[in-house]
Amino acid sequence: MINKIVDNIEKALEGVESNMTFMFGGFGLSGIPENAIASLSQKEIFGLTCISNNAGVDDFGLGLLLQRKQIKKMISSYVGENAEFERQMLSGELEVDLIPQGSLAERCRAAGAGIPAFFTPAGYGTEVAQGKEVREYNGKPHILETALSADFAFVKAWKGDTTGNLIFKGTARNFNPLMAMAGKITVAEVEELVPAGDLDPNQIHTPGIFVQRIFQGAKYEKRIEQRTVRTKK
Amino acid sequence: MALDKNQIAQRIAQELEHNTYVNLGIGIPTLVANYIPKGIDIEFQSENGVLGMGPFPFEGDEDPDLINAGKQTITTLDGAALFDSSTSFAMIRGQHVQLTVLGAMEVSENGDIANWKIPGKMVKGMGGAMDLVASADNIIVAMMHTNRAGESKILKKCTLPITGVNCVKKVVTNLAVLEVTEKGFKLLERAPGVSIEKIKNATEAKLIIEGEVPEMNI
């Protein structure tokens, strides 16, 4: 089997440079590549374009890269939980491209699947459609959206094996499998790394072909953004 | 009496059809799950990747790997399924999810909805709202009839950047149930004890009123 293991996070991040485009899996703070983000926030790389559904919170997730002003442009669907983000956006320091969540997911998937563009009804008649080709299919107007790829995609899975196969847990799957497909170099970090053969091939969510480097994260905080509970009666 | 948020949710719950898949937005729509009528089987979809979403977990059972699209901790019910964001929006865009309930800042009489941006003030993004409103067969808006300044949110034309065109089918507010027809908003029901006059005064758009307008059954 092809071995994707890297010895440490430094090796995993080898080749990252200023002005590159990065993708980050995760929804809110769930399923984000915590270790890669923390390590990137220690590096002297700036002018980054980051594609991620959200932008973290002030002191966690992509908020760490924002604090150090490493990000030049964010491509996201929802960014409402981060005061520093808002400040940088309103002051014009940060360029922001907001796109519909389903289009974001599909644009990543399309890049990984070799589809350069597709038509979707989402966003027709809104600001999102400005400058985009419109075509009618089945009597309904659609807009042309193009694929999104990245120099590096950083994803996080629950379990992975040495050949790069990934299994996700719960709703921490979200954008991770799609971004794994769209990265020129996809770096997967996992909670548990096992030898090839230990994972049931029937249960694999992301086949190892989409993963170039894999490592086990040193630790996971897994912060909860909105803790909602019910009380036992 | 005008309805409170829970009563708006309760009225919307009467629209739920047996054996359907439903996506509930953040805010009042989330409360709809508390009022599913007896004998009606519904599966709730959350666009971050879960079908068969259950109630909030008991204290101590919260799982950071199990949240809804509002980033709240949730549970799954027996028969639930988990999937990635692309599959999730395939369910939405492909019209497999039959009903979407969401909040709004404005709705116009041709069914346009604005709920994602106030230029210069609130720029958080549309999340999944644009995909949802562009595709769902049935879209019900849950909102207060007027904004905090007392201005009508039921308009001839939206003033804020729109989320989708020609898509809202019904609006349930604290004052009324309105249907979006080809000719504009039709007043279907009024909140208990709320007069047609009061609804008219709170509505900028023209209202189509035909015959007796019954009170909501809450």
For A197-232, write each residue's pLDDT tens digit.
999 999 999 999 999 999 999 999 999 999 999 988
When mean pLDDT is compared across A155-159, B53-57, B91-95, B116-120, the lowest value belongs to B116-120
Beta-carbon separation of B125 and A230 below 8 A = no
Q: Does B80 touch chain A (CB under 8 A)?
A: no
Q: Give the pLDDT confidence of A151-192 residue by residue, as tens digits.
A: 999 999 999 999 999 999 999 999 999 999 999 999 999 999
Q: How confident is the model at residue B120 (pLDDT cuts 50, 70, 90)?
A: confident
Q: How confident is the model at residue B91 (pLDDT cuts 50, 70, 90)?
A: very high
> By 3-state DSSP, what share of chain A in percent is helix, strand and coil, each rounded to 5?
25, 30, 45
What's at B121, amino acid-wise?
K
Quote the CA–CA distance of B150 and B133 in Å, as a whole number: 26
CA B7 to chain A, closest CA, distance in angstroms equals 20
> Is residue A26's pLDDT more than 80?
yes
In a mutagenesis test of the B interface, which of A136, A171, A181 is the best target, namely the one with the most B β-carbons within 10 Å? A171
Question: How much is the average pLDDT of A65-88?
Answer: 93
- The two structure tokens encoding residue A211: 């993963």
> Is residue B98's pLDDT more than 90?
yes
> Is residue A90's pLDDT more than 90?
no
Interface of B with A in 37-76 (CB under 8 A): 46-50, 55-59, 61-74
Quote the CA–CA distance of A107 and A183 in Å, as a whole number: 12
- Residues near A102 by Cβ (< 8 Å), separated by ≥ 6? A120, A122, B47, B85, B86, B88, B89, B92, B93, B128, B130, B131
Is B59 a catalytic site residue?
no
Interface of B with A in 92-111 (CB under 8 A): 92-93
Q: What is the pTM of this model?
A: 0.96
Quote the CA–CA distance of A120 and B93 in Å, as a whole number: 8
- With residue B201 as reference, give the H or E element that holds it: helix B196-201
> Which residues are registered as beta bridge partners of A184?
none
CA dihedral for B38, B42, B48, B50, sign (positive or negative): positive
Q: How would you class B131 by CB atoms within 10 Å of its CB: exposed for 0-12, middle for 13-18, buried for 19 or more?
A: buried
Q: Does B84 touch chain A (CB under 8 A)?
A: yes
Of A224, A104, A51, A86, the residue nearest B127 (C-alpha): A104
Separation in Å, CA B26 to CA A102, B46, B68, B76, B102:
17, 10, 10, 18, 7
> Is residue B122's pLDDT more than 80?
no
The chain-wide mean pLDDT, for chain A, equals 97
The number of beta carbons lying within 10 Å of the beta carbon of residue A45 is 18
Return the number of CB contacts < 8 Å for A and B: 180
Q: Give the pLDDT confidence of B1-33 residue by residue, as tens digits.
A: 899 999 999 999 999 999 999 999 988 999 999
Considering only alpha carbons, which residue of chain A is nearest residue B63? A224
Quote the CA–CA distance of A81 and B124 in Å, as a whole number: 8
CB A1, CB A163: distance < 8 Å = yes
CA B204 to chain A, closest CA, distance in angstroms equals 22
Dihedral-angle region of residue A56 (phi above 0 means left; psi in -120 to 50 means alpha; beta otherwise) = left
Question: How much is the average pLDDT of B86-92?
Answer: 98
Is ipTM strictly over 0.95? yes
Q: Which residues of A149-169 are buried (b: 16+ CB within 10 A; e: fewer)?
A: bbbbbbbbbbbbbbbbbbbbb
Q: Does A125 touch chain B (CB under 8 A)?
A: yes
